[in-house]
């Protein structure tokens, strides 16, 4: 089952007006948090909303399919329309954050769009870090905290690998190199800007392999998006990690 934020009717994914102060907002806290990124941001916002609500935040999601929050032109294999939507969205994204003036911005996007562009140069890690920094510098503010969350890695879609003759072992795959590129680039960007980076890989990977299940809970609805059930399962460790890093629970 998908999280409700993935439904187009919620206005969280590919919003027509990203600056709408009422669309895809949950909670009634004094402070405003905005979760930005590709469709992974919509998925990860589900556990984040409850964590942030307990810390007096209301949470809004601004996400665009296959579009990272980074200043890089993507050429998606999903087609020209998807590429144009992504590449045209950044200006509105940044303007919306400036207008809404959140206290906290949490960035989470998948490895997929990192592999869908030609502009990172010979050193892809540094290229991604530079593109990320260029975007984040445009939303920096003295009174605003920015946090980069490591996404779950992509894996084998359950429906394509499981059969009555097989089993869970057929759904295991190694972490993609591009995931490691994105992780290293994000860590560089966070270090350069002095931002908090939240590691999460240990919840999804065992000995370099992306798992399909956690116990009896299926992790993904497809090749990447977490199920609502697994999103709920990571809420407690995510809360603990955000508290440890001082993102929530400091007051």
Task: Taking residues 156-165, report their average pLDDT.
Answer: 70
For residue 69, pLDDT beyond 60: yes
For residue 251, pLDDT over 70 is answered with no
The pLDDT of 82-93, averaged and rounded, is: 87
Give the pLDDT score at 155: 85
pLDDT number for residue 220: 80
pLDDT higher than threshold 60 for residue 166: no
What pLDDT, on a 0 to 100 scale, did the predictor assign at position 88? 87
Tens digit of pLDDT for each residue in 185-217? 999 999 999 999 999 999 999 999 998 877 778
In this prediction, residue 96 carries a pLDDT of: 97
* SS3 per residue for the chain: CCCHHHCHHHCCECCCCCCCCCCCEECCCCEEEEEEECHHHHHHHHHHHHHHHCCCEEEEEEECCCCCCCCCCCCCCCCHHHHHHHHHHHHHHHHHHHHHCCCEEEECCCCHHHHCCCCCCCCHHHHHHHHHHHHHHCCCCCCCEEEEECCCCCCCCHHHHCCCCCCHHHHCEECCHHHHHHHHHHHHHHHHHCCEEECCHHHCEECCEECCEECCEECECCCCCECHHHHHHCHHHHHHHHHHCCCCCCC
pLDDT at 57: 97
Query: Tell me: the pLDDT tens digits for 2-58?
Result: 777 877 767 899 999 999 999 999 999 999 999 999 999 999 999 999 999 999 999
């Amino acid at each position: 089952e998908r999280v409700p934020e993935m439904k187009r009717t919620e206005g969280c994914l590919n919003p027509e007006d990203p600056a709408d102060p009422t669309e895809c907002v949950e909670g009634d806290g004094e402070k405003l948090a905005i979760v930005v990124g590709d469709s992974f941001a919509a998925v990860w916002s589900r556990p984040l909303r409850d964590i942030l609500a307990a810390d007096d935040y209301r949470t809004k999601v601004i996400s665009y399919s296959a579009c990272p929050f980074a200043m890089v032109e993507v050429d998606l294999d999903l087609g020209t329309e998807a590429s144009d939507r992504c590449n045209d969205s950044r200006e509105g994204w940044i303007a919306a954050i400036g207008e809404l003036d959140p206290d906290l911005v949490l960035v989470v996007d998948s490895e997929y769009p990192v592999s869908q562009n030609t502009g990172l140069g010979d050193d892809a890690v540094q290229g991604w870090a530079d593109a990320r920094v260029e975007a984040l510098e445009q939303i920096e503010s003295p009174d605003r905290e920015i946090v980069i969350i490591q996404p779950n890695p992509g894996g084998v879609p359950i429906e394509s690998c499981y059969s009555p003759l097989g089993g869970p072992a057929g759904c295991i795959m190694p972490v993609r190199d591009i995931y490691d590129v994105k992780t290293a680039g994000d860590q560089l960007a966070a270090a350069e800007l002095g931002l908090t980076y939240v590691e999460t890989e240990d919840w999804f990977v065992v000995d370099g392999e992306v798992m399909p299940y956690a116990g009896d809970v299926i992790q993904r609805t497809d090749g990447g998006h977490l199920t609502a059930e697994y999103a709920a399962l990571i809420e407690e460790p995510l809360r603990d990690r955000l508290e440890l890093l001082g993102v929530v629970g400091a007051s």
